[in-house]
Amino acid sequence: MISLYKTKKLSPEIKFLKNKYAHDKTLFNQKQMELYQKHDVNPITGCLPMVIQMPIWIGLYRMLLNSIELYQQPFIFWINDLTMPDKYYIFPVMMGLSMCVQNFFQNHNDDQEQMKYVKWFLPFFLTGIMIQLPSGLSIYIFTNNILTIIQQIYIKKTYENS
């Protein structure tokens, strides 16, 4: 998240480089990397949290499918079984909405029109998938999204004041 805010602060310089080296994409990429190195920004770190989470999601999914201890055990309110899908679709929808809220805190690049569509399509796509999967997985991802939103708000306030 910190790297995203550093990148956001560099966006005017990146736009300047893009206009200056519009004729040579290789040179633009080289100058952009030099700018990132100069300001200690690593653009790849934005994907790192998702890469770390994927094995956890897969492991939790497999555990919920094979867990005898959780089968038909009440959890909260309408969730009577964490191993079964949410019958009212509340947690998958809340997970999708929390992903949309997260998108507001992300660094938006105006020049990447395709990325904008992917960022807004992904919450709806994952909501559709999560409707069929165990509710325990939806609850985990929703909780993780809420904690990430809180972290993003804290980092945003910290970096905007500095």
Question: Which residue is listed with tokens 């905007």?
Answer: 160
Question: Which pTM does this prediction carry?
Answer: 0.76
The closest alpha carbon to 9, from 159, 112, 150, belongs to: 159
End-to-end CA distance of the chain: 15
pLDDT in tens, 27-65: 988 988 898 889 888 766 666 777 788 899 999 999 998
pLDDT in tens, 124-147: 999 999 999 999 999 999 999 999
Q: What are the residue ranges spanned by the domains of the chain? A: 1-46, 47-161
Q: Which residues make Cβ contacts (< 8 Å) with residue 40, sequence separation at least 6? A: 6
